[in-house]
Structure formats: C-alpha cells, structure tokens
Structure 1
C-alpha cells in the first residue's frame, strides 16, 4: 500500500463516527471521491453515494457498500461531582471499557477523558472477576463538579476510544473502527480503480452507509434509493487464526490469506461463482466462508430490497472485532480492492445473475 492510500486509511479510521454521528468520517470519504465520481450526493440518512456512469442504454446497476459507523458510547448523565455516565452505541463488550482512555465529541470540540476503575487493592476478592455493567461505569474528565463538566459536554454527545491506527510487524496494522471504515476505504479505492478505465459497461455506485451497527439502517435506505441489480457488501469478518477460537464452528479464516467470499442463502450463487472465478483467474488469494443463515451485514437488507437484488458479501479477515485493538493485513485490503474491481469489470447483463 502506498503512502497516499495509507494516510487516507488512517484519516478515515481515526475520524470519530459512532452510529448516528458519522459526519466526520463521511467528510473524509467525500473528499477522497469528489474528483473521481461523475455524481456525488448525500441522502437524508447520511449515506454518501458516489456514481460512475455506465455506457449505453440501461446498463447493469452495481452497488458496492461499506458502512462508516463504528461502535462507541453516548453521554447519558453528569453527576454532582462532574463524573459522566454513558451508554453503549452498538455491541460493546463491558469487559473492555474500564481503564480505557476516551474522547467525548461535543459541540465545543473534543474532550479527553478516562473510564475510572477502582484499584484492585480496594476490590473484594469475590468481586474481582465480575463484570461491571456499562450503566455503572463512569468517565472522569478532570472536572470538580457538574457545572464545570457541563461547560464541556452535553447529554447525547458521542464518545469513542482514544486510539488510532498503528503499524505492527509485517503488513499488520491495528486500530479501533476497522469495522467497517476499512470497507469504506475499499469502496473508495474501487471507485478509483474503475475511474481509470476509459469506458465502464456498468452503472457503478460506491456507497458509504450509516447506522449498520444499530440495525442495518443506512444499508436498507441506500439500496432502496440506488435500486441496483447487483449489490456487494464489504465487511470485516472474524479471523480464527489466534488462540482459543473454535474453527469447527467459525471456519478456518486467516489474516493475510486474502479476502473472504461469503456463500449461503444470503448470497446470489451466480455472483459467488463470478467472484471465485475472478479470484482464480487473476491469481488473487481468497477464502470461502459458509453462512447458513442471514449474515448480520448490509448484505441482508440488500438482498431483500424491492423485488430482490443479486447480493454478494466480501469480508476482510479481522482479529479482535469490536475492541480498540482490531487487527488486519494491508495486503488483504489490497487484494480485496483487486478482486472487486476485476469482478465489476466482468459483469455484463442482469440475466447472468438469475439462478439456473
């Protein structure tokens, strides 16, 4: 990955964007694609939709989507001493929160804080292994009372973990919010790759959706608005190549072994075959994961929009999902971009996606 693309990924994942508060990340996405897209708009939900116009009359409409919202928190109450109580936005593991540094994103700017925790010396032995419910945890921003704190924060302000993107060994990187701003990164890169072609046979829509973590909301409204023939969701997927993961239940999925192509009732079989064939012929490493039910991604709502959409799901393997230390491979990102761009260029007609 070149420096330009790495810096874009870093800016995107570090922009605060808990569900319902995605505008900072969406501004980064818009800037990245505004000189690439033929059309660029934001809908009433906050989804950002970039279009590359296809050639000919009534070309195949293809939509690629990643969601830009991340898990986080929201200010619920400020007590007399200036301590801040909060609630989770999305699926946050209460085990992870105590002792973390956080940032509160208020109208007057960002406020640094930390989630307080009683020292282990003061915790009764019988209570040391219990999980403190999030509603009982609190944030300390250093204020002496409620009035001081309310000068800086308000009920409803969004909160994120105070960590960003860092390089590890080999091509591994770690950050909060790869789920799923990494998918938005892929969407932007595929737009860039397709733009380099003089003519595009399909009408292509690259979409950064919102509020996936709280119910696939932006995915549902954006796919209805775009009305594609083919839709592919780009998501993180559970890597299983670290200790204590049951591969018999979750599959054998490895960081660095390529994008993961989903297969199952949520997935159009002809589109699955096209993705696999493209990977093989382009010599792109890939993995396959079976989804016997709904996938829990924007692919769910894509498939069921209007009269139905030929839907695919491509995951990038991710360790430690929904933690402040998510980990992935930059090479997997690059191969995902290659796979999707090459697959779109092979698409021709609506009929080829009707199951036979």
Structure 2
C-alpha cells in the first residue's frame, strides 16, 4: 500500500462518524477524492466521486462510511449519561471503555460505567451486561453541569486510536466499514491512472448502513447504475470457535473475499473471479443462499434491478473496539475491483 494511501486510511479510521452523523468522516473522504475525481454529496449525506462521466457502462462502487456508536437518551440527577446503541453492539465489549461524545462544542470525553462486581448480589454476577445497565460518566457533579456539556441525542464513539500490529495488520474501532469506503476510493484512484477507461465509475461513501442500508439505497436509486460492487468486511475464520464449514475459509492475509449469493449477479461475481485469476490476485469465495447483510442488498433491487457484486476483506472481532484486518487484503480488494472495472468494454451488458 502506498504511504499516502495508508495515511489517508488512518485519518479516515480515526475520525468519528456513527450512523446518521458521518459528516466529519465524509469530509475527510471528499477531500481525498477531490485530488483525482469529481466530488459531490447528496441530501442523505452520501459522498460521490466520479471518473469518466458519460462513459458506459455506469458502475457504482459502494463502501459505507458509518460506524457503530452510542446515543445519549437521558441525563440523570447525578449527571450520568444513559445511552443506547447506534447499530449492533455486544454490550460486554462496552464495559469500562473510554468514549468521546460528539457535541456542537466539540468532543466530550467519558467512561462507560457499570456496577462494580464487589457490590453485586451473587445472582447479578451470573448475568451478562445489558446496555440499559450501563452509563457514561463525563465527570460531571450533577445534571446541570452535564447538561451544559451534552444534550440528549448526542452521539459518541469508543475512544480508541488506530493500533499498528506486526505483519502488516492494524486494529481499529471503525474498520467496519471505513475499510470499504477506503477501498472504493483506492480502486477509483487506480482507475484514474488507466488509459482508455470505458466505464463511468462512481465511488460512493454511503451512510447509515449499520441502521438499515439506507444511504446505499438512496445513492443507487439516484445513480441508476448498470452494475455495482459493494465493499464490506466479512468474518475472518482463523480465530477459535468460528466454523469454516458454515462461514468459509477466510484467514487474514488470504486476499479479497468474493461473495457468491442468490441475490447477487453471477455476471459480476464471475467477472471478479476471472479478473482475480488473470491478475494473479489471491482470493477466497464466500457463499450465501439468501441475502448478504450488506449494502449489496440495498442496491440490487433499486429501480428495475442492478447487477451487483460484493467484495469483502476478512475482519477479526467485528463490531468491537478492536477490529483487526490485514492491509494486504485491503490493497488486494482495491486492485481486484480496479482490474475488473478497468477491463469492462464500452456498453457492457449485464442483462441475463
């Protein structure tokens, strides 16, 4: 991965942007995209970067830029903030975490509190934590002080910087799915260097995936592309207790994961496989007999139907403060998508 691309990725991962509040992360993405593409936004907050406008076919590359987070629901008399999850959390991983509440006046630091085990009844100790039994402590003495800093409806993220690990791996709270937003823009950058590109290619940093695939739906309806490729994380299966028989064999460093599913276009999936083999890009296959649980599901049924594929990167510890990926897999995803889209001929037909 280029040094400049890696620095952009780290900046993108570090910028808070829970579902519905992706503005800061979107600005980072748009600033980078403007270096080589036409950039715009829409009313939902989606970001678009276009290459070769007017080309054919029109191809949408979608990676959602939102991350899971927290939302303040009440400030109690002691000045403690009660909250709910934005997106899907395992409450066990929240206990004791440091957080940054995003407010109009800037971030407010806090910690997630829970009743200490020493003062629990024996039966309480046997129960798993629930979000309703947790709170955020921002150090306020009372409700008035807390309300002077934070309002109901403010969102927060885990205060966890990017951690660089050995073997070209990193950990971050927001790899699901800033990774995808990064990959689609990196693929677009690679395509900007291709001579004779036939397709119009639009990279989209979509919003609100974690709460319903909403951004990708609106973006796909507006673009009406001939084909689309969604990019997301999938479960790495090289950790204890994850069944390869159920989820496939996707180790960190094994390359892009190409999904074959009943709701995806075999033309796009087959084209991605062919491109990987032609370019010598290592990959694995993942199967799904129903929907994929990603933006691909929201894209493929828009308008009269869009031929859609899905490329993923293996991710350990999904929806936790420390998701882990291999940078080579991200680079492979971008190179694969660029090779496939760059090889499309003018007017390629996806009808089947």
TM-score by length of 2: 0.97
Per-residue CA distance 1:156-207 (angstroms, 9 max, x = gap) = 1011001021111111110001000000111111121111124321011010
Q: 1:222 aligns with which of 206, 219, 225?
A: 219
* Counterpart for residue 151 of structure 1: 148
* Counterpart for residue 40 of structure 1: 39
* Counterpart for residue 248 of structure 1: 245
Residues 54 and 200, structure 1, Cα contact 8 Å, conserved in 2: no
Residues 229 and 350, structure 1, Cα contact 8 Å, conserved in 2: no
CA RMSD of aligned residues (A): 1.3
Tell me how far apart the structure 1 counterparts of residues 140 and 317 of structure 2 sit (CA, whole Å): 33
Q: 2:229 aligns with which of 226, 229, 232?
A: 232
* Counterpart for residue 50 of structure 1: 49
Q: How does 1:155-304 map to 2 (within 5 A)?
A: 155-304=152-301
Structure 2's unaligned 5+ residue stretches are: none
Alignment size in residue pairs: 352
Runs of 4+, deviation exceeding 3 Å: 349-352
Q: For 1:253, what is the secondary structure of its paired residue?
A: coil
Q: How does 1:272-351 map to 2 (within 5 A)?
A: 272-349=269-346
Residues 194 and 342, structure 2, Cα contact 8 Å, conserved in 1: no
Tell me how far apart the structure 1 counterparts of residues 88 and 288 of structure 2 sit (CA, whole Å): 21
Residues 114 and 133, structure 2, Cα contact 8 Å, conserved in 1: no
Tell me how far apart the structure 1 counterparts of residues 162 and 302 of structure 2 sit (CA, whole Å): 35
* Counterpart for residue 112 of structure 2: 115
Per-residue CA distance 1:197-242 (angstroms, 9 max, x = gap) = 2432101101000000010000100000111001000000111110
Q: For 2:311, what is the secondary structure of its paired residue?
A: strand
Structure 1's unaligned 5+ residue stretches are: none
Tell me how far apart the structure 1 counterparts of residues 339 and 129 of structure 2 sit (CA, whole Å): 48
Offset at residue 352 of structure 1 (A): 4.2
Tell me how far apart the structure 2 counterparts of residues 28 and 283 of structure 1 sit (CA, whole Å): 32
Tell me how far apart the structure 1 counterparts of residues 122 and 64 of structure 2 sit (CA, whole Å): 42
* Counterpart for residue 17 of structure 1: 17
